[in-house]
Structure 1
Amino acid sequence: MPPMLDVSDEVRAEIGEEETTRLLTGANAPGTYDCTSCRTPGDTGQERTSTVLFVGDETAVLAFAHAACIPSQVVPVTEEQLQGAVRSMGGEEGGTGAPGAPGMPMAQGGGAPVTMPDPTPRQAVLGITCGLIIIEDTLRPALVIEPTGPVARVGATGAGDDFLPLLIEQGFVPQLDLEAPPSRLGGWSVLLATGKLHAVLQPGPGGPASTAWWQAHQPLQVSEGWRAAVNRTNEVYVYAGPAGSIGRQPREDLMRDALARACSRGLLVAATMPLAGT
């Protein structure tokens, strides 16, 4: 019985028809795998499986994921990031391992929280909350991001948490005063389409095209108030803190209080991102 593999047109174009045929017939496909998104076991003979190709400047790594987690796609990364992920897999030069998104963690999934691929053995789940925050006496649309566990760099060892340093390296700025609007971050944007949240986009490696840093499995419904606020300003305040710094808050006033506490402890970074879409 052939494996239940999904190979997108872009993956097919990268790996060629011959390799695609070998995959679809089972000649070069794994029976079982660890999902590159949720890190739980998968079985190509029992469930739809996506082929995910991580492409660097000189190296490509083919990974597999539950089709319910992420679609088949090509993920461009830098060669350094990809080589680091390969080293973390035990020195393999390619194959069917699941490296996760090398370098800066890229969250792909649906709902909140969603799974964030991580190239280290440590798994983190990324919680994303939409809410309104009062800044300068005006309601502003905000996204609040917090992983459930430490996030490490590629190849890192030990129990450190690099989530905030990684974001700062990407251009996020420590938020020292919650009453002030976050600094604008060039190249990043928040994708809203047909009134639903689809993705947070970051600049693509080596070019102007954007790639998804976080992408919903299914578009996320936002409130009427949030959508009205973002349509007025065409920008979103994005706040992020390390695991345990903010927490999942049931009300927007409690969310703001939690952000203020994280800010006072130096555990909050932020950016203003333009709205992409409608």
Structure 2
Amino acid sequence: MLDVSDDVRAEIGDEEADLLLAGDNAPGSYDCTSCRTPGNSERERTSTVLFVGEETAVLAFAHATCIPSQVVTVSEEQLQGAVASITGDSPGTSAAANGTPPAVPGGQAVLGITSGLVLIGGELHPALVVEPTAPIARPGTTGPGDDFLPLLIEQGFIPVTNTADLPSPLAGWSVLLAAGQLHAVLQPGSPGSGQVAWWQAHQALSVTDGWRAAVNRTQRVLIYAAPVGSIGQQPREDLLRDALDKAAAAGKLVSASMPLAGT
């Protein structure tokens, strides 16, 4: 019941792939690298997920209903953190919603990411809210304007006029959730190169059990983005929703929905 994609086979070799498919090296029982709940490769379809860093590669397993078999390129630091999480060598994760933001290419600012649940149509949806710490200048310019939203709209994000509407899907983008933690938001790369990280955590971010349960149900993440100073760090999800409403009313909010990485 094991799935080995062509990309994974190319990385691990035909011999190892055939041993996996024959059951010789199959994991049997495992903790899904996406949702972190138990799985069994003998009773349910299971995906092989190969995490590849600069020097290390780790083969993990996931419910096929969570993510498909795929190769995921991550930084060596992230991979070591994922290994610790997968093997249980790290302490239990907290339910913090905010994480240390990574640098934006070019060093102009950093992107803050906040996770939360957004109620739309009577259903809770997993969401990520992105807000830079400073104005984002268009590449090749020095400012002083803020082109964060225009740049995202050019990528396919849609301006939000009503937060009660479900954001539109954005082709080619996805959210990487591995070992039950948030690692990156991926965007299309150059033709033939696959996806690249638009946002990547320096250290994988914990999400709440409720957020993880919601994403396992919907298989999609809602992304909201606003210019610096529009949202702020909100301690509760109701206050975060209020901030999103105000940003939308002011014409300072764009959104998109995207699947988990590889789907």
What displacement does 1:277 show? Answer: 6.9
What displacement does 1:141 show? Answer: 0.2
- Coordinate RMSD, CA, aligned: 2.0
Structure with more contact order per residue of length (Cα contacts < 8 Å, sep ≥ 6): 2
Q: Which position in structure 2 is the counterpart of 1:221?
A: 206
Q: Which position in structure 2 is the counterpart of 1:159?
A: 144
Instruction: Check 1:208–1:183 CA distance in 2 against 1; reply closer, same or farther (3 A cut).
Output: farther
Match of 1:119 among 106, 111, 124: 106
Aligned pair count reads 170
Aligned residues of 2:161 and 2:251 also touching (Cα < 8 A): yes
Gaps of 5+ in 1: 1-49, 51-69, 73-110
Match of 2:251 among 252, 256, 266: 266
Aligned residues of 1:164 and 1:241 also touching (Cα < 8 A): yes
Secondary structure at the aligned position of 1:263 is classed as helix
C-alpha separation between the residues in 2 aligned to 1:157 and 1:213? Answer: 21
C-alpha separation between the residues in 1 aligned to 2:214 and 2:146? Answer: 33
What displacement does 1:273 show? Answer: 0.4
Moved over 4 A (4+): none
Match of 2:188 among 203, 208, 215: 203
C-alpha separation between the residues in 2 aligned to 1:168 and 1:225? Answer: 30
Gaps of 5+ in 2: 1-53, 55-74, 78-97
Deviations 1:134-173 (A, max 9, x none): 0111111000000011000122133100000111111111
What displacement does 1:217 show? Answer: 1.8
Q: Which position in structure 2 is the counterpart of 1:42?
A: none
Aligned residues of 2:100 and 2:202 also touching (Cα < 8 A): no
Aligned residues of 1:146 and 1:240 also touching (Cα < 8 A): yes
Q: Which position in structure 2 is the counterpart of 1:185?
A: 170
C-alpha separation between the residues in 2 aligned to 1:241 and 1:113? Answer: 18
Q: Which position in structure 2 is the counterpart of 1:168?
A: 153
C-alpha separation between the residues in 2 aligned to 1:206 and 1:140? Answer: 32
C-alpha separation between the residues in 2 aligned to 1:172 and 1:249? Answer: 23
C-alpha separation between the residues in 1 aligned to 2:172 and 2:245? Answer: 27
C-alpha separation between the residues in 2 aligned to 1:147 and 1:210? Answer: 22
What displacement does 1:207 show? Answer: 2.5
Q: Which position in structure 2 is the counterpart of 1:135?
A: 120
Q: Which position in structure 2 is the counterpart of 1:20?
A: none
Matches within 5 A, 1:38-53: none
Aligned residues of 2:104 and 2:111 also touching (Cα < 8 A): no
Task: Establish whether residue 254 from structure 1 lines up as the match of residue 239 from structure 2.
Answer: yes
Aligned residues of 1:192 and 1:277 also touching (Cα < 8 A): no
Percent identity reads 62
C-alpha separation between the residues in 2 aligned to 1:224 and 1:248? Answer: 20
Q: Which position in structure 1 is the counterpart of 2:16?
A: none
Aligned residues of 1:188 and 1:273 also touching (Cα < 8 A): yes
Match of 2:129 among 131, 144, 148: 144
Secondary structure at the aligned position of 1:116 is classed as coil
Instruction: Check 1:196–1:115 CA distance in 2 against 1; reply closer, same or farther (3 A cut).
Output: closer
C-alpha separation between the residues in 2 aligned to 1:193 and 1:277? Answer: 12
Aligned residues of 2:100 and 2:201 also touching (Cα < 8 A): no
Secondary structure at the aligned position of 2:102 is classed as strand
Secondary structure at the aligned position of 2:149 is classed as helix
Q: TM-score, normalised by structure 2?
A: 0.61
Aligned residues of 2:126 and 2:211 also touching (Cα < 8 A): yes
Secondary structure at the aligned position of 1:276 is classed as coil
C-alpha separation between the residues in 2 aligned to 1:167 and 1:113? Answer: 22
Secondary structure at the aligned position of 2:214 is classed as helix
